[in-house]
Amino acid sequence: MTVPPVPAGLLAGRRLLITGVITKDSIAWHVAARAQEAGAEILLTGFGRPKRMTQRAAKTLPTPVDVLELDVNNPDDLVAIAKEIDERWDGRLDGVLHAIAFAPSDALGGNFLETPAESAMTAFQTSAFSLKALAAALLPALSKSEHGGSVVGLDFDAQVAWPIYDWMGVAKAALEATSRYLARYAGPHGVRSNLVSAGPLGTIAARGIPGFSQLADGWHEAAPLGWDGADPTPTADAALFLLSPMARAISGEILHVDGGVHSCGPVGHGPPAPAAADAPAS
Protein backbone atom coordinates (compact mmCIF):
# COMPACT_ATOMS: atom_id res chain seq x y z
CA MET A 1 0.00 0.00 0.00
CA THR A 2 1.30 3.46 -0.91
CA VAL A 3 2.18 5.63 2.09
CA PRO A 4 0.07 8.81 1.99
CA PRO A 5 1.88 12.15 2.15
CA VAL A 6 2.05 14.03 5.43
CA PRO A 7 -0.37 16.98 5.51
CA ALA A 8 1.69 20.05 4.67
CA GLY A 9 2.21 22.33 7.65
CA LEU A 10 0.74 19.91 10.23
CA LEU A 11 3.70 20.54 12.53
CA ALA A 12 4.94 23.83 11.08
CA GLY A 13 7.04 25.66 13.63
CA ARG A 14 6.79 22.86 16.20
CA ARG A 15 9.89 21.85 18.13
CA LEU A 16 10.04 18.17 19.04
CA LEU A 17 12.36 15.95 21.07
CA ILE A 18 12.36 12.37 19.79
CA THR A 19 13.74 9.53 21.94
CA GLY A 20 14.17 5.89 20.99
CA VAL A 21 15.79 6.09 17.57
CA ILE A 22 18.29 3.26 17.16
CA THR A 23 18.18 2.46 13.46
CA LYS A 24 16.18 3.51 10.42
CA ASP A 25 13.78 0.67 11.27
CA SER A 26 12.82 2.28 14.59
CA ILE A 27 9.28 3.58 14.91
CA ALA A 28 10.80 6.74 16.38
CA TRP A 29 12.91 7.26 13.24
CA HIS A 30 9.77 7.25 11.13
CA VAL A 31 8.10 9.68 13.54
CA ALA A 32 11.12 11.96 13.18
CA ALA A 33 11.21 11.70 9.38
CA ARG A 34 7.47 12.27 8.97
CA ALA A 35 7.61 15.14 11.50
CA GLN A 36 10.26 16.88 9.42
CA GLU A 37 8.09 16.47 6.32
CA ALA A 38 5.27 18.09 8.31
CA GLY A 39 7.45 21.12 9.11
CA ALA A 40 8.81 20.30 12.57
CA GLU A 41 12.26 21.05 13.93
CA ILE A 42 13.55 18.06 15.86
CA LEU A 43 16.31 16.75 18.09
CA LEU A 44 17.06 13.11 18.86
CA THR A 45 18.43 11.49 22.01
CA GLY A 46 20.66 8.50 22.65
CA PHE A 47 23.17 7.22 25.17
CA GLY A 48 25.87 4.67 25.71
CA ARG A 49 27.04 2.35 22.95
CA PRO A 50 23.79 2.53 20.94
CA LYS A 51 24.22 6.30 20.62
CA ARG A 52 26.58 5.74 17.69
CA MET A 53 23.79 3.86 15.90
CA THR A 54 21.41 6.73 16.67
CA GLN A 55 23.88 9.23 15.22
CA ARG A 56 24.13 7.19 12.02
CA ALA A 57 20.35 6.99 11.79
CA ALA A 58 20.08 10.75 12.38
CA LYS A 59 22.17 11.36 9.26
CA THR A 60 19.63 9.46 7.13
CA LEU A 61 16.71 11.73 8.04
CA PRO A 62 15.43 14.16 5.38
CA THR A 63 17.37 16.81 7.32
CA PRO A 64 20.20 15.45 9.51
CA VAL A 65 19.88 16.46 13.17
CA ASP A 66 21.86 16.45 16.41
CA VAL A 67 21.67 13.65 18.97
CA LEU A 68 21.62 14.70 22.62
CA GLU A 69 22.85 12.48 25.47
CA LEU A 70 20.00 11.06 27.54
CA ASP A 71 19.84 8.08 29.86
CA VAL A 72 16.28 8.50 31.05
CA ASN A 73 17.12 6.72 34.33
CA ASN A 74 19.87 9.24 35.12
CA PRO A 75 18.53 12.36 36.91
CA ASP A 76 21.61 14.34 35.86
CA ASP A 77 20.89 13.64 32.18
CA LEU A 78 17.30 14.83 32.63
CA VAL A 79 18.52 18.10 34.14
CA ALA A 80 21.08 18.48 31.35
CA ILE A 81 18.61 17.92 28.53
CA ALA A 82 16.19 20.45 29.99
CA LYS A 83 19.07 22.95 30.08
CA GLU A 84 19.98 22.08 26.47
CA ILE A 85 16.41 22.75 25.33
CA ASP A 86 16.50 26.05 27.21
CA GLU A 87 19.70 27.12 25.46
CA ARG A 88 18.86 25.88 21.95
CA TRP A 89 15.19 26.73 21.75
CA ASP A 90 14.77 29.56 24.27
CA GLY A 91 13.13 27.19 26.72
CA ARG A 92 10.19 26.25 24.49
CA LEU A 93 9.39 22.67 23.54
CA ASP A 94 6.18 21.70 21.76
CA GLY A 95 6.33 17.92 22.04
CA VAL A 96 8.30 14.88 23.09
CA LEU A 97 8.08 11.30 21.88
CA HIS A 98 8.75 8.71 24.59
CA ALA A 99 9.88 5.60 22.70
CA ILE A 100 11.80 3.98 25.53
CA ALA A 101 11.32 0.47 26.88
CA PHE A 102 13.54 -2.25 28.30
CA ALA A 103 13.17 -5.46 30.27
CA PRO A 104 15.95 -7.90 31.18
CA SER A 105 15.85 -11.20 29.32
CA ASP A 106 14.71 -13.08 32.41
CA ALA A 107 11.57 -10.91 32.52
CA LEU A 108 10.45 -12.05 29.05
CA GLY A 109 9.90 -15.17 26.99
CA GLY A 110 7.70 -17.19 29.36
CA ASN A 111 9.72 -16.64 32.54
CA PHE A 112 6.95 -14.75 34.33
CA LEU A 113 6.82 -16.97 37.43
CA GLU A 114 10.61 -17.10 37.78
CA THR A 115 11.40 -13.41 37.19
CA PRO A 116 13.16 -11.79 40.17
CA ALA A 117 11.83 -8.56 41.60
CA GLU A 118 14.92 -6.66 40.48
CA SER A 119 14.25 -7.45 36.81
CA ALA A 120 10.57 -6.54 37.10
CA MET A 121 11.49 -3.24 38.72
CA THR A 122 14.02 -2.50 35.97
CA ALA A 123 11.28 -3.03 33.38
CA PHE A 124 8.95 -0.72 35.32
CA GLN A 125 11.49 2.07 35.84
CA THR A 126 12.76 2.17 32.26
CA SER A 127 9.48 1.50 30.46
CA ALA A 128 6.90 3.31 32.62
CA PHE A 129 8.31 5.57 35.33
CA SER A 130 10.58 7.15 32.72
CA LEU A 131 7.51 8.67 31.03
CA LYS A 132 6.85 10.70 34.16
CA ALA A 133 10.53 11.45 34.71
CA LEU A 134 11.02 12.78 31.18
CA ALA A 135 7.79 14.77 31.15
CA ALA A 136 8.46 16.31 34.56
CA ALA A 137 11.97 17.38 33.51
CA LEU A 138 10.64 19.03 30.36
CA LEU A 139 7.39 20.41 31.81
CA PRO A 140 8.59 24.04 32.07
CA ALA A 141 9.55 24.00 28.37
CA LEU A 142 6.42 22.14 27.27
CA SER A 143 4.20 24.58 29.16
CA LYS A 144 5.47 27.39 26.90
CA SER A 145 4.11 25.80 23.72
CA GLU A 146 1.67 28.09 21.96
CA HIS A 147 -0.94 25.42 21.31
CA GLY A 148 -0.13 23.25 24.30
CA GLY A 149 2.73 20.86 24.85
CA SER A 150 2.32 17.20 23.94
CA VAL A 151 3.84 14.08 25.46
CA VAL A 152 3.33 10.96 23.33
CA GLY A 153 4.45 7.48 24.37
CA LEU A 154 4.63 4.23 22.41
CA ASP A 155 2.59 1.42 23.92
CA PHE A 156 1.60 -2.19 23.33
CA ASP A 157 -1.95 -3.06 24.38
CA ALA A 158 -1.94 -4.06 28.06
CA GLN A 159 -5.60 -5.10 28.28
CA VAL A 160 -4.68 -8.78 28.03
CA ALA A 161 -1.79 -11.06 29.05
CA TRP A 162 0.12 -11.73 25.83
CA PRO A 163 2.30 -14.82 25.42
CA ILE A 164 6.04 -14.27 26.08
CA TYR A 165 5.58 -10.53 26.80
CA ASP A 166 5.45 -11.17 30.55
CA TRP A 167 6.83 -8.35 32.74
CA MET A 168 7.10 -5.99 29.80
CA GLY A 169 3.33 -6.37 29.54
CA VAL A 170 3.04 -5.44 33.21
CA ALA A 171 5.32 -2.46 32.56
CA LYS A 172 3.10 -1.39 29.65
CA ALA A 173 0.07 -1.54 31.93
CA ALA A 174 1.98 0.74 34.28
CA LEU A 175 2.85 3.00 31.33
CA GLU A 176 -0.85 3.35 30.52
CA ALA A 177 -1.67 4.27 34.11
CA THR A 178 1.28 6.67 34.25
CA SER A 179 0.05 8.44 31.12
CA ARG A 180 -3.38 8.92 32.66
CA TYR A 181 -1.94 10.37 35.85
CA LEU A 182 0.41 12.53 33.81
CA ALA A 183 -2.60 13.83 31.90
CA ARG A 184 -4.17 14.80 35.23
CA TYR A 185 -1.14 16.55 36.70
CA ALA A 186 0.36 18.08 33.56
CA GLY A 187 -2.97 19.27 32.19
CA PRO A 188 -3.13 22.40 34.38
CA HIS A 189 0.22 23.39 32.82
CA GLY A 190 -1.28 23.15 29.33
CA VAL A 191 0.47 19.85 28.61
CA ARG A 192 -1.31 16.72 27.43
CA SER A 193 -0.23 13.07 27.61
CA ASN A 194 -1.30 10.32 25.22
CA LEU A 195 -0.14 6.91 24.00
CA VAL A 196 -0.08 5.15 20.65
CA SER A 197 -0.66 1.43 21.07
CA ALA A 198 0.82 -0.26 18.00
CA GLY A 199 0.55 -3.78 16.70
CA PRO A 200 3.77 -5.83 16.50
CA LEU A 201 6.40 -4.28 14.23
CA GLY A 202 9.70 -5.78 13.18
CA THR A 203 11.98 -3.29 14.89
CA ILE A 204 15.38 -4.18 16.31
CA ALA A 205 13.92 -3.87 19.82
CA ALA A 206 11.03 -6.23 19.04
CA ARG A 207 13.33 -8.79 17.47
CA GLY A 208 15.26 -8.86 20.73
CA ILE A 209 12.23 -10.25 22.60
CA PRO A 210 12.53 -14.04 22.91
CA GLY A 211 9.72 -15.67 20.94
CA PHE A 212 8.58 -12.41 19.31
CA SER A 213 7.42 -14.28 16.21
CA GLN A 214 4.95 -16.20 18.41
CA LEU A 215 3.30 -12.89 19.25
CA ALA A 216 3.48 -11.43 15.76
CA ASP A 217 2.41 -14.51 13.78
CA GLY A 218 -1.25 -14.40 12.91
CA TRP A 219 -1.74 -10.69 13.65
CA HIS A 220 -2.58 -9.97 10.02
CA GLU A 221 -5.30 -12.64 10.01
CA ALA A 222 -6.73 -11.40 13.31
CA ALA A 223 -6.84 -7.75 12.24
CA PRO A 224 -10.05 -6.70 10.46
CA LEU A 225 -7.98 -4.20 8.45
CA GLY A 226 -5.03 -6.53 8.09
CA TRP A 227 -1.61 -5.68 9.48
CA ASP A 228 1.78 -5.08 7.91
CA GLY A 229 4.44 -5.65 10.56
CA ALA A 230 7.06 -4.15 8.24
CA ASP A 231 5.35 -0.75 7.93
CA PRO A 232 5.78 1.63 10.90
CA THR A 233 4.26 4.63 9.11
CA PRO A 234 0.65 4.21 10.36
CA THR A 235 1.98 4.24 13.91
CA ALA A 236 4.21 7.22 13.16
CA ASP A 237 1.33 9.15 11.61
CA ALA A 238 -0.85 8.58 14.69
CA ALA A 239 1.97 9.98 16.83
CA LEU A 240 2.21 13.00 14.53
CA PHE A 241 -1.48 13.71 15.00
CA LEU A 242 -1.14 13.58 18.79
CA LEU A 243 1.92 15.83 18.65
CA SER A 244 0.07 18.37 16.52
CA PRO A 245 -2.29 21.20 17.56
CA MET A 246 -5.08 19.13 15.97
CA ALA A 247 -5.07 17.04 19.17
CA ARG A 248 -5.05 20.05 21.49
CA ALA A 249 -8.11 18.88 23.52
CA ILE A 250 -7.08 15.20 23.75
CA SER A 251 -5.29 13.88 26.83
CA GLY A 252 -5.12 10.61 28.73
CA GLU A 253 -6.01 8.74 25.53
CA ILE A 254 -4.65 5.48 24.10
CA LEU A 255 -4.87 5.50 20.31
CA HIS A 256 -4.72 1.94 18.99
CA VAL A 257 -2.97 1.46 15.66
CA ASP A 258 -3.13 -2.31 15.30
CA GLY A 259 -5.46 -3.06 12.42
CA GLY A 260 -8.35 -3.39 14.87
CA VAL A 261 -7.10 -6.40 16.85
CA HIS A 262 -7.70 -4.71 20.23
CA SER A 263 -11.43 -4.58 19.49
CA CYS A 264 -11.86 -8.09 18.14
CA GLY A 265 -10.21 -10.47 20.56
CA PRO A 266 -6.88 -12.25 20.69
CA VAL A 267 -4.65 -13.19 17.81
CA GLY A 268 -5.80 -16.42 16.23
CA HIS A 269 -9.48 -15.49 16.50
CA GLY A 270 -9.89 -13.18 13.55
CA PRO A 271 -13.16 -12.46 11.76
CA PRO A 272 -14.71 -15.26 9.70
CA ALA A 273 -14.36 -15.21 5.95
CA PRO A 274 -17.21 -13.34 4.20
CA ALA A 275 -20.11 -15.64 3.39
CA ALA A 276 -20.80 -16.36 -0.24
CA ALA A 277 -23.62 -14.34 -1.74
CA ASP A 278 -26.95 -16.14 -1.94
CA ALA A 279 -27.82 -17.48 -5.37
CA PRO A 280 -30.63 -15.59 -7.07
CA ALA A 281 -34.05 -17.17 -6.80
CA SER A 282 -35.09 -19.09 -9.88
Residue 37 neighbours by CB distance under 10 Å: 18
Strands (E) in 72-228, as ranges, are 95-98, 149-155, 191-198
Taking the C-alpha atoms of residue 22 and residue 70, their distance in angstroms, rounded to an integer, is 13
Strands (E) in the chain, as ranges, are 15-18, 41-46, 67-69, 95-98, 149-155, 191-198, 254-257
Q: Known catalytic residue: 185?
A: no
Taking the C-alpha atoms of residue 171 and residue 126, their distance in angstroms, rounded to an integer, is 9
Contact criterion met (CB below 8 Å) for 110 and 165: no
Q: Which of 24, 51, 59, 172 is catalytic?
A: 172
Strands 15-18 and 41-46: parallel
Q: Which of 59, 165, 181, 185 is catalytic?
A: 165
| C-alpha separations of 68 from 65, 71, 125, 265 in Å | 10, 10, 21, 41
Taking the C-alpha atoms of residue 245 and residue 6, their distance in angstroms, rounded to an integer, is 15
DSSP at 6: P
Residue positions annotated with a catalytic role:
165, 172
